[in-house]
A and B are shown apart, each in its own frame.
Chain A
Amino acid sequence: MANLHTEHLSLGYYEHLIVRDLNLTLPVGKVIALVGANGSGKSTILKALARVLRPREGAAYLDGKAIHALSTKKVAQRLAILPQNPDAPEGLRVRELVSYGRFPHQRGFNGLGPEDRDIIDWALSMTGMTVFADRPVGNLSGGQRQRAWIAMALAQGTDVLLLDEPTTFLDMAHQLEVLELLSRLNRDEGRTIIMVVHDLNHASRFAHHMVAIAEGTIAAEGSPAEVMTPEILRQVFAIDADIITDPRTGVPLCIPYKLRPHDNRSVGL
């Protein structure tokens, strides 16, 4: 099991410092949602956890070792990242895309072995993409395409899956479809799912652990019940909201009713 945490992590682009002195520990084997306003730094944190972005100071640690110091191929065998809106080369078929997930496990000149092929088939069937295996990725609907990318990340065979807004640009049915798939991967396969989500009610329903980010630091973290409070929502999103309990699942739901324009809210970026 891969253990991820950060110590005194500072991140930025060019002269802008976006995340300051972040100490974050991510529980193992859970679904974790990073939430926060636009520009709060949640995607930036995700990139640093996936060693895609170099820290200014401090470090992200994988099993106690600074992730940037580890061999990138070794890290790729432990955690997979799916960026927002990934783009496949035109004409690439689903099975080919999923086979790229085996990259960190292949050596030298060898092609795909029988074991690789089994894992690719398994990833396709887990995501319900077997019937679409020979279709070009560009021909799929939004939800199918996102599942194809998740299948690629699955074929990587990692304990941890990092996803940046996996439900953006999807309609409601496809959003649920993707989130239920991730939930199932966590439940049945024991994968740690760390995702940036915009929809608080999705976060509350599908995540065990929520981390609310405001201005590059942790504003609150804990179970959905602990994080989804009117006070925290006011602080993190500058909104006034009512919290009710979902009659079906018992998780807190948020109904925002008013913007607080005079709050010192981080906007843009």
Chain B
Amino acid sequence: MASGLDRHSPKRGPQSRDAGVPSADHDDRTRDDKAYGKPQDRSALGRFWALVRALQRGSDPAVVMVTLALLIVVAVLVSLNLGFIKIPPVDVLKTFFGQGTSQQELVLFQFRLPRIVLALLVGGSLALSGAILQSVSQNGLADPGILGINAGAGLAVVGLLIVGTGSSAFLLPAVAFLGAAATAALIYALAYKDGSVTPSRLLLVGIAINAGIAATILVLSMRMDRQLYSYAVAWLSGTIAGTSWDYVFALLPWTLLLVPLTFAKARTLDVLSLGDMLATGLGAAVERQRLILLGVAVALAGSAVAVGGGIGFVGLVGPHLARRLVGPNHRVMLPTTALAGALLLVVADSLARNLFAPVEMPVGVVVAAIGAPYFLYLLAKTRG
């Protein structure tokens, strides 16, 4: 860090001056080691990455968003073709124009399409929730899981499975949502001290509560029989299996309400990401806005987890991806995040369905398999 500021460092030798007199040329000295790689990195690979990054940051946000949207369309079309019952692309198109067989119609409209739509909604919601949390906590490692969303929903679902009244299809998502919301509220309450909740306290309390709930789930699941246990594990690692349009219509109102609300908060998120003191100085009611935004993040992730199970990593990776593509300005970063999350989950779910067909993998496992290496890459790149 200091090397870029030190005008007398050997690397800057020709430019350094003895007297501390301002002159016109000192504007040219810039710290270019932060975003474009270390200046001494003159290898071919280093130059290549510098170019890639410059292209990425130089690209028009509108182009990025349109590209992501097109990729989503492609992913959806490919995903419709893939499956246990093979339907060629031509037949998919035919079916969409009402020319398909009744079996094709059943598979596409009742099985595959609702699942794809659900994956899009769940992925977008989780990523957006992560973006809010990362900005509010000014910590790029925050994700919905840290607020206890996944753990709380998981505990509630495991409890419900043990009690064994899983009769209604909507009881499970409702219980999962309540578990998520209750846990998030508990974490917020425990992090509250002296009239405010500091981001670092929130994260630390979140980690502690998560550990406690994980242990409780483990103890509870020891008492389950094999069949129930494997169902619980599949749910906990996230799965969009067994979906129907009913689930889509249960989730859709939340998404339609919360996504525009999040976009409307873009400027507040902008100033909150500068830190409490600057945000206050700029006229944001920091404590109240933070509570509102945490509530929105909990509702987004809670509703997504309720129908998708404990999917991790989308909330962490989605916002990072968006920031790399369009920068941290929320007006463009938030829509890009939602698109990136939707794309990631729809791709992951197609893989989960088809990779080891006819056996299905939990989508959360696939997301983690893609997300974990990327996360390690981010950690390796981030200094300190």
Contacts and interface: CB of A to CB of B under 8 A. Distances in A.
Contacts of B275: 83, 86-87
A137 B57 CA distance: 13
Interface in B8-48: 17, 20-23, 26-27, 29-32, 34-36
Given A83-B277, A86-B275, A104-B283, A93 B327 contact: yes
Nearest to A81: B281
Contacts of B7: 171, 173
27 contacts: A14-B194, A72-B283, A75-B283, A80-B281, A80-B282, A83-B275, A83-B281, A86-B275, A88-B274, A90-B35, A91-B324, A91-B327, A100-B274, A100-B282, A103-B283, A138-B35, A139-B31, A139-B34, A139-B36, A141-B27, A141-B30, A143-B26, A156-B282, A171-B7, A173-B7, A173-B26, A175-B20
B282 A76 contact: yes
Nearest to A135: B30
Contacts of B57: 91, 136
Contacts of B23: 173
Nearest to A134: B58
B331 A111 contact: yes
Interface in A39-56: 47, 50-52, 54
A101 interface: yes
Interface size class of B (residues with CB under 8 A): 35 or more
Interface of B is mostly: loop
B159 interface: no
A76 B271 CA distance: 12
Contacts of A52: 276-277, 280-281
Given A82-B281, A101-B282, 6 more contacts: A89-B274, A106-B267, A136-B57, A142-B5, A162-B281, A173-B7
B328 A89 contact: yes
Contacts of A77: 283
Contacts of A89: 273-274, 323, 328
Interface size class of A (residues with CB under 8 A): 35 or more
A128 B28 CA distance: 13
B331 A81 contact: no
A177 B21 CA distance: 9
B136 to A, nearest CB: 12
A267 interface: no
Contacts of A135: 30
A171 B20 contact: yes
A144 B30 contact: yes
Contact of A172 (B5, B20, B27, B280): B20
A180 B21 CA distance: 12
B14 to A, nearest CB: 16
A73 interface: yes
Interface in B225-250: none
B285 A72 contact: yes
Contacts of B285: 72
B22 A103 contact: no
Nearest to A96: B329
Nearest to B26: A173
Nearest to A109: B264
Given A52-B277, A72-B285, A169 B271 contact: no
Contacts of B324: 91
B284 interface: yes
B29 A136 contact: no
B278 interface: yes
B360 interface: no
A171 B18 CA distance: 12
A176 interface: yes
Nearest to A111: B331
A11 to B, nearest CB: 14
A139 B283 contact: no
Contacts of B34: 90, 136, 138-139
A140 interface: yes
Nearest to B34: A138
B4 interface: yes
A86 B278 contact: yes
B270 interface: yes
A177 B22 contact: yes
Interface string B275-299: 1111011111100000000000000
A103 B32 contact: no
A169 to B, nearest CB: 7
B198 to A, nearest CB: 12
A92 interface: yes
Contacts of A104: 282-283
Interface in B150-208: 194-195
B281 A76 contact: yes
Contacts of A136: 34-35, 57, 327
